[in-house]
A and B are shown apart, each in its own frame.
Chain A
């Protein structure tokens, strides 16, 4: 059986990839409108506080959810268990964000359907001024 403590010790907090993203105005508007947003801060480029919907950064990925040498945990395909988005500041069209990927946590839970392993993938986004603007945690679940 996989030693989760050893995996935690080796991988939690280790940044394994980064990428840059330029925030596109049309994508920001399409996202907000499709979600039924009616607040002009998120839909109207003429609004003085125009910005991306708070969870827009959750679609920005470095392309890799796990470090290259990360051990295989559990069986089957991972299930998307959910997303947590923390907003530290506004993300505006034209911003250049740097996203840094890390493993934030690894743990297991046992329930009626057996033991499940949870891997929390974290992306921290800073803008072109070096300000942390968004943190996105993606929860991936595998059966053990």
Chain B
């Protein structure tokens, strides 16, 4: 386990997760495309992306979802994410800055799970990804 488990009983409605700034560098994107085998120019090459009418090379949506999962695993070490739902509301351009945030919005005492609302905001302040996860803490 990466750290001390967060006990279910210690989680309260409205708890905010620590804000994180994911690595949107080209080497990170390239590493993701190796894992996903999504080696498309729109993720790796600004010019190719602009030729498609995009503002620049894009962070793959699944990588954005992965940032949210990594945040959850750090916030609640050893937890199991039972479900994650993300909506891609706008492009997130690589080699920019972004902020990943989360807050607890529901607690299911019977299932011993918590619901966390998640967002990714780009460097212009636009929310580009919104999501909801159902998390089962390890303790």
Contacts and interface: CB of A to CB of B under 8 A. Distances in A.
A82 B62 contact: no
Given A37-B73, A54-B84, A31 B66 contact: yes
A36 B61 contact: no
Contacts of A85: 65, 83-85
Interface in B1-41: 1-2, 20, 22-23, 28-29, 31-32, 34-38
Nearest to A29: B35
Interface string A25-36: 011111111111
A87 to B, nearest CB: 6
A27 B34 contact: yes
A5 B101 CA distance: 39
A86 interface: yes
Contacts of B32: 30-31, 34-35
Contact of B82 (A26, A27, A41, A86): A86
Contact of A36 (B34, B67, B77, B84): B67
Nearest to A38: B2
Interface residues of A, number: 32
Contacts of B81: 54, 87
A42 interface: yes
A42 B62 contact: no
B69 interface: yes
Interface of A: 26-42, 53-56, 58-59, 80-87, 139
24 contacts: A27-B37, A30-B31, A30-B34, A30-B35, A31-B66, A34-B28, A35-B69, A35-B70, A36-B67, A38-B2, A39-B2, A39-B73, A41-B78, A42-B73, A54-B69, A55-B62, A55-B84, A56-B35, A59-B35, A59-B37, A82-B61, A84-B85, A87-B81, A139-B87
Interface of B: 1-2, 20, 22-23, 28-29, 31-32, 34-38, 61-63, 65-67, 69-70, 73-74, 77-78, 80-88
